[in-house]
Amino acid sequence: MKKPVFIARQGRQPSGLLGTLVGRIMSKETAPANDIAVALLNVVPGDRVLDVGTGHGAALATLGILNDPGSLHGLDFSPTALKIARRKNRRLLKSGRLHLTDGTSDDMPYADQSFDKIMAMHTLYFWEDVAAHFQEIHRVLAPGGRFVIGFRPRDDAEAAKGFPESVYTFHTVAQIKHLLMATGFMIAETERREDAKSILTWIAAERLSDN
Each residue of 16-55: pLDDT tens digit?
A: 555 555 555 565 566 788 999 999 999 999 999 999 999 8
Backbone φ and ψ of 173, nearest 5°: -60, -40
| CA–CA separation, 104 and 137 (whole Å) | 11
pTM: predicted TM-score of the whole model, two decimal places: 0.88
CA atoms within 13 A on the CB side of 169: 10
All domains in the chain, ordered by first residue = 5-207 (3.40.50.150)
Tell me whether strands 185-194 and 98-102 are parallel, antiparallel or unpaired. unpaired
Helix (H, G, I), strand (E, B) or coil at 168: coil
Residue 167 has pLDDT above 80, yes or no: no
**DSSP category for residue 7:** H
For residue 127, CA distances in Å to 18, 19, 48, 108, 181 come to: 22, 19, 24, 14, 18
Each residue of 107-145: pLDDT tens digit?
A: 999 999 999 999 999 999 999 999 999 999 999 999 999
Return the closest-CA partner of residue 144 out of 50, 48, 209, 189: 209
Helix (H, G, I), strand (E, B) or coil at 49: strand
Look at residue 138 in the predicted model and tell me its pLDDT. Answer: 98
| CA–CA separation, 101 and 109 (whole Å) | 9
